Structure 1
Amino acid sequence: MSISIRVNENLYNQAKIQAKAELRTVPNQIEYWARVGHTAIDNPDLPIDMVEKLLIAKREANQSFEFID
């Protein structure tokens, strides 16, 4: 389910630039920033780059792999 929200135009433009660089949609970029921020708030002792690496590792752990012989 998706819900429309209003965001500041500056935030949208920053997300648009970052989303293009990281091959995400603008909404997915904003969701990613929200997850990073939420995780950083829940773990204030961790550096932000560690938070990002943990989220990447968690996402990769949830992906299935198909081995080709």
Structure 2
Amino acid sequence: MSMPVRIDDTLYEMARAQAHAERRTIAGQIEFWAMIGKASLDNPDLPVDFVRELLIARAEGPTLATPFVPEGRRD
């Protein structure tokens, strides 16, 4: 469901620029920032960059994942 929301013009312009760079819609960029913010608040011990990369990896799904191979078990 979409809901109109008023935001500051400066935030909108920042979201527009970042959305263009990351190939997202402006709404999608703001939603992404909101998810990072919520996840960071829910997990204050984790660095924000880690949270961001985790959300990106989860969105990519398992098809782009590299299997984990513990050291010493390379056959």
Specify if TM > 0.5.
yes
Q: Give 1:48 shift.
A: 0.8
Aligned equivalent of 2:20: 20
Deviates more, 1:24-33 or 1:54-63: 54-63
Q: Give 1:59 shift.
A: 1.4
Over alpha carbons, which structure has the higher Rg? Answer: 2
Q: 1:53 and 1:10 mapped to 2: Cα distance?
A: 25
Gaps of 5+ in 1: 64-69
- Structure 1 residues 1-69: aligned runs within 5 Å: 1-61=1-61
TM-score (norm 1): 0.84
Q: Give 1:56 shift.
A: 1.3
TM-score (norm 2): 0.78
Percent of aligned pairs with the same amino acid: 49
Instruction: Tell me the C-alpha RMSD between the 2 structures.
Output: 1.4
Q: How many residues align?
A: 63
Aligned equivalent of 2:68: none
Aligned equivalent of 1:67: none
Cα distance per residue 1:12-45 (max 9 Å; x no partner): 0000000000000100000000000000000001
Gaps of 5+ in 2: 64-75
Which residue identity is paired with 1:18? Q
